[in-house]
């Protein structure tokens, strides 16, 4: 907001006033001064608060991305360790061979995918897809 400052008492007045509301002095037409804006001064340079908010949001998004990448790398390393230890550890108890000959070469793969749809913090829909593949032979 723009206001007119009294040259006598430095009181701020609306633009339509011709006389100061505090001391009654006549207001000059060229005494228009913009009202102070919120800014933070860093190293002698005023930085608007809106710009600082944008920087803060960018930093927060960047940190979230780094956290996601670190979590994904940790999970990847953990799954690789689990598969290498499972393959490297010899089985002490050999599994008995199936008694039925047609089950000897059967491979079954089960896959499940869960999709959750959230709207404003509430779970609105959950889709569960299950797939079963069986290879006999």
- Top-confidence residue, 95 or 7: 7
Could you tell me if residue 84 is inside a domain? no
Strands ordered across the beta sheet of 2-5: 12-13, 2-5, 32-34
What total number of domains does the chain contain?
1
pLDDT in tens, 27-64: 876 545 555 567 788 888 888 888 888 888 999 999 99
Could you tell me if residue 47 is inside a domain? no
Domain residue limits at 6: 1-36
Q: How confident is the model at residue 70, as a pLDDT? A: 94
At 58, list the tokens. Answer: 């960018």
pLDDT in tens, 110-137: 888 888 888 888 888 998 888 888 877 6
Could you tell me if residue 5 is inside a domain? yes
From 11, 47, 50, 46, select the one nearest 31 (Cα to Cα): 11
Angle at 33 between CA 31 and CA 39, to 5 degrees: 165
Helix (H) or strand (E) holding 36: none
């Amino acid at each position: 907001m723009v206001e007119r400052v009294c040259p006598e008492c430095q009181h701020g007045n609306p633009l339509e006033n011709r006389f100061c509301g505090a001391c009654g002095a006549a207001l000059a037409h060229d005494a228009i001064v913009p009202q102070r804006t919120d800014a933070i001064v860093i190293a002698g340079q005023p930085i608007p608060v809106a710009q600082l908010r944008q920087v803060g949001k960018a930093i927060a998004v960047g940190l979230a991305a780094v956290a996601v990448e670190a979590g994904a790398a940790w999970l990847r390393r953990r799954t690789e360790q689990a598969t290498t230890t499972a393959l490297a550890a010899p089985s002490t108890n050999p599994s008995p061979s199936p008694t039925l000959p047609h089950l000897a070469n059967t491979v079954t793969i089960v896959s499940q995918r869960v999709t959750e749809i959230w709207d404003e913090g509430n779970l609105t829909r959950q889709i569960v897809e299950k797939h079963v593949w069986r290879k006999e032979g």
